C-alpha cells in the first residue's frame, strides 16, 4: 500500500498575506510552512499504510526556490521521501498547471492512492486534486471525512451539503480529505532529526517532460485586471457583560422586529 500525499508549502499563515504588485501572484518569499490542511492527508496516509501492514508514504510538492521546510515537517512525522518540483517557469501557474506538474510527479511514484486536502489555506481554489485525478485517468472521491480500505476497495464517507454519502472506489484513486478526518500526530525529536536526511528529489519541468507553455503564466491563460480594498463593515456598539447584556441583545432583536 503506497500512498502519495500532495503537500503545499505556503507562507506562514500568522503573517498577513500579500499580492506582488507587479504580477498579482501571492508573495511566497521567506520560509514556507506545510499547509495545515495537508497534515490531515499525511496522517491519513500514515494510518492507511499502518493498517495495510506495509508500504510507504511519499510526498509530492511544487514550490518556488527549492523550498523544503514544509516538506521536512511531514517527513518528520513518518513520510519516507518526497518529490519537489521547483522551476522558475512555474511562476504564475494556476490550478490546472499545478495539477499537470503534480500528476507527472505522481506518475513517477506509481502509488496506489493519492491523498490531498480539499483546498489550500492560501489560495482556496479547490480543484487541483480532482484535476490530478482526471489527468491520471483515475477516479476520485472528494471531501472525505472517513476513509477505510479493505480488499483493495476504498470506503469513504464523503461530506455533502446536507449530510454525507458512503462511497466505494477501486484503487488507484485520488481522495481529498477534510480537516478533522484524523488527528495529525506531532513529530518526535527522533523524527525531526531523521527527516533531515530523508531523500527529497528535486525536479524541473523539463525533467517531468512537460511543455513549459502548459504551466506558469503562459499556461494559466487568465489575468488580474484590478485589485482593490473591499468595502469594509464598520464595527458597531460594544457592551461589556455585567450580567445584563442579554437585555441589550433582546432590545436589538426587538428593534430589528425579529421579536
Partner 1 sequence: MDKIWVLAEQRGGVPAGIVLELLTAARGFGGVVEVVTWGPSSESTATVLGRYGAAKVYDVGDIGEALPGPKVAAAIASQVSGGNRPDAVLIGATHDGRDIAARLSVRLDLPVLTNVVGITASGGRLTSDHSIFGGSTLLRAEFTDAIPGLFVVQPKSFVAEPAEPAGQRSVEIVAIEVPETGATDAARIVARHEEERSGPELDEAAVVVAGGRGLGSPGNFALITELAQLLKGAPGASRAIVDAGWVPYALQIGQTGKTVKPMVYIACGISGATQHMVGMKAAQKIIAINKDREAPIFTIADLGVVGDATKVVPKLIEAIKARR
Residue 24 binds partner 1, judged by CB under 8 A = yes
**For 124-148, b where at least 16 C-beta lie within 10 A, e where not — what string?**
eeeebbbbbbebbebbbbbbbebbe
The partner residues of 84 in beta bridges, in order of sequence, read 61, 202
Interface residues for partner 1 in 40-59 (CB under 8 A)?
none
Residues contacting partner 1: total by CB under 8 A: 79
Closest approach of Cβ 81 to partner 1, in Å?
26
Pairing of strands 200-203, 81-85: parallel
Closer to partner 1 by Cβ: residue 192 or 252: 252
Closer to partner 1 by Cβ: residue 170 or 199: 170
Say if residue 151 is exposed, middle or buried (CB neighbours under 10 Å; 0-12, 13-18, 19+): exposed
Number of Cα atoms under 13 Å in the Cβ half of residue 180: 4
Closer to partner 1 by Cβ: residue 193 or 245: 245
Closest approach of Cβ 133 to partner 1, in Å?
7
Interface residues for partner 1 in 156-215 (CB under 8 A)?
158-170, 173, 178-180
Candidate list 138, 147, 149, 177; residue touching partner 1; CB under 8 A: 138
Residue owning grid cell 498579482: 24
d(CA 7, CA 70): 8
Closest approach of Cβ 168 to partner 1, in Å?
5
Closer to partner 1 by Cβ: residue 41 or 75: 41
- Confirm if 169 and 151 have CB atoms less than 8 A apart: no
Residue 14 binds partner 1, judged by CB under 8 A = no
Radius of gyration of the chain (CA): 22
Closest approach of Cβ 164 to partner 1, in Å?
5
Closest approach of Cβ 198 to partner 1, in Å?
29
d(CA 113, CA 6): 11
Q: One symbol per residue from 72 to 111: x for binding partner 1 (CB under 8 A), - otherwise; what is it?
A: ----------------------xxx--x------------
Reduce the DSSP state of residue 251 to 3 states and report it. helix
Closest approach of Cβ 68 to partner 1, in Å?
27
Which one of 70-78, 80-88, 202-210, 222-230 is the stretch in contact with partner 1 (CB under 8 A)?
A: 222-230
d(CA 23, CA 20): 6
Amino acid at each position: 500500500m503506497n500512498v502519495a500525499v500532495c503537500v503545499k508549502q505556503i507562507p506562514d499563515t500568522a503573517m498577513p498575506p500579500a499580492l506582488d504588485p507587479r504580477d498579482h501572484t501571492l508573495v511566497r518569499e521567506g520560509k514556507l510552512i506545510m499547509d495545515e490542511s495537508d497534515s490531515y492527508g499525511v496522517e491519513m496516509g500514515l494510518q492507511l499504510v499502518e493498517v495495510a501492514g506495509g508500504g510507504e508514504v511519499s510526498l509530492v510538492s511544487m514550490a518556488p526556490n527549492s523550498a523544503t521546510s514544509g516538506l521536512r515537517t511531514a517527513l518528520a512525522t513518518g513520510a519516507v521521501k518526497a518529490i519537489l518540483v521547483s522551476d522558475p517557469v512555474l511562476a504564475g501557474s494556476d490550478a490546472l498547471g499545478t495539477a499537470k506538474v503534480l500528476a507527472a510527479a505522481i506518475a513517477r511514484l506509481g502509488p496506489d492512492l493519492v491523498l490531498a486536502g480539499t483546498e489550500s489555506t492560501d489560495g482556496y481554489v479547490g480543484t487541483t486534486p480532482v484535476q490530478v485525478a482526471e489527468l491520471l485517468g483515475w477516479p476520485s472521491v472528494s471531501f472525505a471525512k472517513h476513509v477505510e480500505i479493505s480488499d483493495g476497495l476504498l470506503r469513504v464517507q464523503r461530506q455533502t451539503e446536507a449530510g454525507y454519502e458512503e462511497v466505494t472506489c477501486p484503487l488507484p484513486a485520488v481522495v481529498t480529505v477534510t480537516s478533522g478526518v484524523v488527528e495529525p500526530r506531532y513529530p518526535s525529536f527522533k523524527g525531526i532529526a531523521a527527516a533531515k536526511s530523508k531523500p527529497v528529489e528535486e525536479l524541473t519541468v523539463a525533467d517531468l517532460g512537460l511543455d513549459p507553455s502548459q504551466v506558469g503564466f503562459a499556461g494559466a491563460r487568465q489575468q488580474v485586471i484590478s485589485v482593490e480594498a473591499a468595502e469594509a463593515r464598520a464595527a458597531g456598539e460594544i457592551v461589556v457583560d455585567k450580567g445584563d447584556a442579554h437585555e441589550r441583545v433582546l432590545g436589538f432583536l426587538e428593534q430589528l422586529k425579529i421579536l
